[in-house]
């Protein structure tokens, strides 16, 4: 595996200090990226420049596609129900945009500069549940839904909590106890629900996009993200049954592999007998006072692509984040069990995290139930997705931040770190 | 063309009295149709019974598909904007469900019987803008969006009014004045905007589903309603350019052909430089106080399938209908020009309507700007779509009725007439 492959590994699961060093000398992005409109993407009737469906999630196509996901892939509706929406109080803190922060590779930028330069589509900061900053770019607005990519994993890891607290799913059981079909999968047949949740399954799953034989390539085909291929027609769960084992014990190393999350989606559907989109609506979305129905990418058989396929407004993800910050209590009710969120924040396995390069930034951290928990002095924890999707929570200063972006390259480590540094600095500044 | 083909012609554009007579002896539907859930459609993870994508709009698949359109075809979002929703006052009139009515073939049924038997998904009746009856079936609820089929045409014919009143489009101009590409189409190159609006273009376009060479077959492929075929990849507007002429003058006969409406969509995009979904959001949906974003089927190039592809909640179509009833004024503002709606109701061409079988029911009626205007003693006018989609407006009793259904057969004339008779009877009863 080449250095660049390691560095551009999907979802920032890069390995080793090299990735820091190699970028230290790079200049910060110095030009403001063009909007989809400025590039003429999907402008005209019929449009002259259409989206290359094989590359919709890469630049420049993703500048348009991430805001138009229901035109790109099949999506199920996650209903907000019929209740009134929860209203945000606005309490602008103008100084945030001029806040200077130092990126992890020692560049100094203001928040405003970074937002303009770093392919931002939207950005919102909540302090104590109030909106202190809200910005939109690239044709986006508060009404626009945007793809979450792997922030979807953290959403999934939270919403499964109700089933686990209710005893409908036990983390200690094997996944085959709920999904007998996974007996066919060498990778998953001995894995427990907890190992799936924490991505410590010892499965053969490369997220190296540069390798056409990498499992991630066929995985994306299976999700219908690459069109109606024969793999897509067999569906996501047929693919899951093919996953192979590597020579390591389950449970020992945090090995980021998106297919784990899709197994969680399958577990939820099996445990409830409901479609994931209906479960999510009943258990969370109809209680949150969400402004809008969310969408969820589904494969060609209707199975949920929970590893990366949620689509929602910036404010609705902020509502979700605020609910998590508040220990699962929001809009006058307990939505996700408090114990589940405490477990996420407290009970991870640092030993499994140590071999990853995350430990160079957050040595005491861990990955628990699909959340990155930094164990920094603020107790910050977060979700992150390729191309710059972020949900950052600082429980010390009571800050929730959402950033939706359309970085041109999937796992752009430099851009990702730059956004982490910005969000951390903003959260710390709002004492 | 066989009798059955004539009778099951798409969108009830049947020809001649035969269609009335032949059904006179048929028994009314006597069994309550199964719900999608009862049939096990899309139940299970992955589902055992999935939707046949080649037949998603036919029974039994449409029992599920019409409520899950964003999983079936690419859909653009028509944003409701950020304004508060307009609230409905509820003023139930319990007696409506027991109202008896006589179908056009002399069967007697109660409203409740017909709703249960005639594949209803949802049904709402507004009297003076208040909800007097609202019913849901087959797993549907007030939050569920449903496909409008050709009621979409009436929506399109209304929303184009603002552009015409503003002089951005002139009904007297030729379509090629706005869309030079249609010079390539023998069918459209000499047609005016008015002829397109009223479907009096003399084009070769058969909506006979039983004929594999019928234009409607390729039309549906071009819209991406039959999957990602090569015709779909060329898009709707490539297909439109192929349309041929028949030997008749434009403007003389109402000849129902769905492709006309898609030309209206193209005209709107050309006149505004906007995508149809954005235009519709700006001009109508963000002003209506709609409860939910609507969806609109788009082809593989992103062009709008306005002939049949709107997807919205029952209440939101009722809001739209109430706006039309009120001469375009709703939620404190003029949304569609009053003159445009008056023109629809008053200025149609009865001579063009006379050769069709509609004239046997409504001898004084006409088809104007994508609306069926009965010119009955109530001044009733309506939109109708295959498989039982209805928007019925009675301006004498101030009644608006929406019925969404999933009849198993596209153009089931008997079921359609039964619903017309019911809606007419309800509207007349609410004096």
Q: pLDDT (tens digit, 9 = 90+) per residue, A68-108?
A: 999 999 999 999 999 999 999 999 999 999 999 998 778 89
> Closest by alpha carbon to B44, among A177, A298, A273?
A273
Nearest CA in chain B to A82: B143
| B-interface mutation test, from A56, A71, A136, A275, most B Cβ less than 10 A away | A71
Contact yes or no for B417/B370 (Cβ under 8 A): no
B272 vs A contacts (CB less than 8 Å): none
Residue written as token pair 């999608």: B36
Q: Where are the beta strands (DSSP E) in A23-177?
A: 75-78, 100-102, 108-110, 120-127, 130-136, 145-147
φ/ψ bin of A190: left (φ > 0), alpha (ψ from -120 to 50), beta (otherwise): alpha
A145 vs B contacts (CB less than 8 Å): 77
A235 vs B contacts (CB less than 8 Å): 46
* B167 touching chain A per CB within 8 A: no
Nearest CA in chain B to A234: B46
Angle value at C-alpha B358, between B356 and B361, nearest 5 degrees: 135
A71 vs B contacts (CB less than 8 Å): 74-76, 298, 302
pLDDT value of residue B254: 98
* B82 touching chain A per CB within 8 A: yes
A50 vs B contacts (CB less than 8 Å): 301-302
- Pick the catalytic residue from A13, A19, A150, A297: A150
Indicate yes or no: CB of B68 within 8 angstroms of CB of A76.
yes
Residue written as token pair 């972020």: A390
- A residues 202-241 closer than 8 Å to B (CB): 227-228, 235, 237
Indicate yes or no: CB of B302 within 8 angstroms of CB of A47.
yes
CATH fold of B3-164+264-429: Beta-lactamase (3.40.710)
For residues A335 and A161, what is the distance between their CA atoms, to the nearest angstrom?
10
For residues A422 and A313, what is the distance between their CA atoms, to the nearest angstrom?
21
The encoded tokens of residue B76 equal: 């653009």
pLDDT value of residue B207: 87
Indicate yes or no: CB of A295 within 8 angstroms of CB of B72.
no
- Residue extents of the structural domains in chain A: 3-154+268-429, 165-263
pLDDT value of residue B210: 78
The whole-angstrom distance between B112's CA and the closest CA on chain A is 26
* B387 touching chain A per CB within 8 A: no
> Closest by alpha carbon to A158, among A325, A290, A326, A340?
A340
> Closest by alpha carbon to A403, among A34, A124, A28?
A124
| B-interface mutation test, from A45, A90, A144, A279, most B Cβ less than 10 A away | A45
Q: Give me the residues paired with residue B44 across strands.
A: B47
Question: Taking the CA of residue B366 as centre, how many other CA atoms within 13 Å lie in the half-sphere pointing to its CB?
Answer: 18
The whole-angstrom distance between B88's CA and the closest CA on chain A is 13
What's the Cα-to-Cα distance from A422 to each of A415, A419, B151, rounded to whole Å?
11, 5, 50
For residues B309 and B297, what is the distance between their CA atoms, to the nearest angstrom?
5
* A40 touching chain B per CB within 8 A: no
* B40 touching chain A per CB within 8 A: no
Q: What is the mean pLDDT of residues A401-411?
A: 95
* A75 touching chain B per CB within 8 A: yes
Q: What is the DSSP string of B231-287?
A: HHHH-HHHHHTTPEE-SS-TTSS----THHHHHHHHHHHHHHSS-HHHHHIIIIITT
* A50 touching chain B per CB within 8 A: yes
**What radius of gyration do chain B's Cα atoms show?**
20
Confidence label for A12 from pLDDT (cuts 50, 70 and 90): very low
Q: Which residues of B281-303 are buried (b: 16+ CB within 10 A; e: fewer)?
A: bbbbbbbbbbbbbbbbbbbbbbb
* A298 touching chain B per CB within 8 A: yes
Residue A28 pLDDT greater than 90, yes or no:
no
B227 vs A contacts (CB less than 8 Å): 228
Percent with pLDDT over 70 in chain A: 93
> Closest by alpha carbon to A179, among A257, A243, A240, A251?
A240
Q: Shortest CB distance from B303 goes to which of A46, A82, A303?
A: A46
Top mean-pLDDT range of A15-24, A302-311, A405-414: A302-311
Indicate yes or no: CB of B42 within 8 angstroms of CB of A302.
yes
pLDDT value of residue A119: 98
Is B45 one of the annotated active-site residues of the chain?
A: no
For residues B75 and B298, what is the distance between their CA atoms, to the nearest angstrom?
6
Indicate yes or no: CB of B143 within 8 angstroms of CB of A302.
no
Contact yes or no for B305/B235 (Cβ under 8 A): no
Per-residue pLDDT of chain B (431 residues; tens, 9 = 90+): 222 222 333 333 322 222 332 333 344 456 899 999 999 999 999 999 999 988 999 999 999 999 999 999 999 999 999 999 999 999 999 999 999 999 877 889 999 999 999 999 999 999 999 999 999 999 999 999 999 999 999 999 999 999 999 999 999 999 999 999 999 999 999 999 999 999 999 999 998 877 889 999 999 999 999 998 999 999 999 999 999 999 999 999 999 999 999 999 999 999 999 999 999 999 999 999 999 999 999 999 999 999 999 999 999 999 999 999 999 999 999 999 999 999 999 999 999 999 999 999 999 999 999 999 999 999 999 999 999 999 999 999 999 999 999 999 988 989 999 999 999 999 999 99
Contact yes or no for B207/B213 (Cβ under 8 A): no
Q: Shortest CB distance from A235 goes to which of B46, B269, B292?
A: B46
**Which residues have a Cβ under 8 Å from the Cβ of A122 and sit 6 or more positions away?**
A135, A136, A137, A140, A144, A146, A314, A402, A403, A404
Nearest CA in chain B to A145: B77
Q: Where are the beta strands (DSSP E) in A156-293?
A: 203-204, 244-245
Q: What is the mean pLDDT of residues A307-325?
A: 98
For residues A109 and A118, what is the distance between their CA atoms, to the nearest angstrom?
11
Nearest CA in chain A to B295: A70
Nearest CA in chain A to B270: A45
The whole-angstrom distance between B377's CA and the closest CA on chain A is 39
- B residues 254-293 closer than 8 Å to A (CB): 266, 269-270, 275, 292-293
Q: Which H/E stretch holds residue A390?
A: strand A389-394
CATH of domain A165-263: 1.20.58.710
pLDDT value of residue A14: 29
Q: Which CATH superfamily is domain A3-154+268-429 in?
A: DD-peptidase/beta-lactamase superfamily (3.40.710.10)
ipTM: 0.93
For residues B78 and A261, what is the distance between their CA atoms, to the nearest angstrom?
31
Nearest CA in chain B to A293: B292
Indicate yes or no: CB of A82 within 8 angstroms of CB of B301.
no
For residues A322 and A316, what is the distance between their CA atoms, to the nearest angstrom?
10
The whole-angstrom distance between B80's CA and the closest CA on chain A is 8
For residues A60 and A51, what is the distance between their CA atoms, to the nearest angstrom?
9
pLDDT value of residue B24: 34
Residue A15 pLDDT greater than 50, yes or no:
no
pLDDT value of residue B30: 65
Positive or negative, the CA dihedral B168, B169, B174, B179 is: positive
pLDDT value of residue B4: 29
A75 vs B contacts (CB less than 8 Å): 70-71, 75
pLDDT value of residue A30: 65
- Pick the catalytic residue from B150, B185, B206, B303: B150
pLDDT value of residue A58: 95
For residues A162 and A139, what is the distance between their CA atoms, to the nearest angstrom?
37
């Amino acid at each position: 595996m080449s250095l660049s492959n390691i560095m551009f590994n999907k979802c920032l699961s890069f390995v080793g200090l090299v990735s820091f060093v190699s970028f230290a000398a790079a200049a910060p992005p110095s030009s403001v990226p063009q909007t989809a409109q400025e590039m003429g993407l999907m402008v005209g009737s019929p449009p002259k420049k259409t989206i290359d469906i094989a590359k919709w999630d890469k630049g420049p196509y993703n500048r348009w596609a991430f805001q138009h996901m229901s035109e790109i892939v099949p999506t199920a509706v996650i209903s907000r129900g019929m209740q009134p929406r929860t209203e945000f109080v606005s309490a602008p803190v103008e100084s945030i945009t001029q806040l200077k922060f130092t990126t992890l590779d020692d560049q100094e930028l203001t928040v405003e500069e970074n937002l303009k330069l770093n392919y931002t589509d939207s950005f919102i900061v909540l302090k104590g549940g109030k909106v202190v900053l809200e910005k939109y770019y690239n044709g986006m607005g508060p009404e626009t839904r945007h793809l979450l990519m792997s922030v979807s994993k953290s959403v999934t890891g939270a919403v499964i909590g109700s089933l686990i607290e209710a005893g409908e799913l036990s983390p200690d059981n094997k996944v085959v106890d709920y999904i007998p079909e996974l007996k066919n999968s060498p990778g998953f047949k001995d894995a427990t629900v907890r190992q799936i949740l924490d991505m410590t399954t010892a499965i053969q799953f490369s997220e190296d996009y540069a390798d056409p034989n990498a499992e991630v390539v066929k995985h994306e085909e299976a999700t219908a993200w690459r069109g109606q291929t024969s793999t897509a027609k067999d569906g996501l769960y047929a693919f899951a049954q093919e996953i192979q084992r590597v020579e390591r014990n389950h449970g020992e190393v945090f090995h980021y592999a998106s297919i784990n999350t899709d197994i969680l989606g399958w577990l939820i559907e099996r445990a409830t007998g409901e479609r994931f989109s209906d479960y999510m609506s009943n258990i969370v979305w109809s209680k949150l006072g969400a402004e809008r129905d969310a969408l969820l990418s589904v494969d060609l058989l209707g199975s949920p692509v929970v590893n990366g396929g949620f689509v929602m407004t910036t404010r609705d993800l902020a509502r979700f984040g605020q609910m998590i910050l508040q220990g699962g209590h929001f809009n006058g009710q307990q939505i996700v069990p408090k114990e589940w969120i405490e477990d996420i924040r407290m009970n991870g396995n640092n030993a499994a995290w140590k071999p990853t390069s995350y430990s160079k930034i957050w040595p005491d951290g861990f990955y628990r139930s699909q959340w990155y928990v930094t164990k920094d002095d603020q107790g910050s924890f977060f979700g992150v997705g390729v191309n710059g999707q972020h949900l950052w929570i600082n429980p010390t200063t009571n800050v929730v931040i959402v950033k939706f972006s359309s970085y041109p390259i999937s796992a752009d480590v430099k851009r990702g770190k730059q956004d982490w540094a910005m969000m951390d600095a903003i959260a710390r500044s709002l004492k």
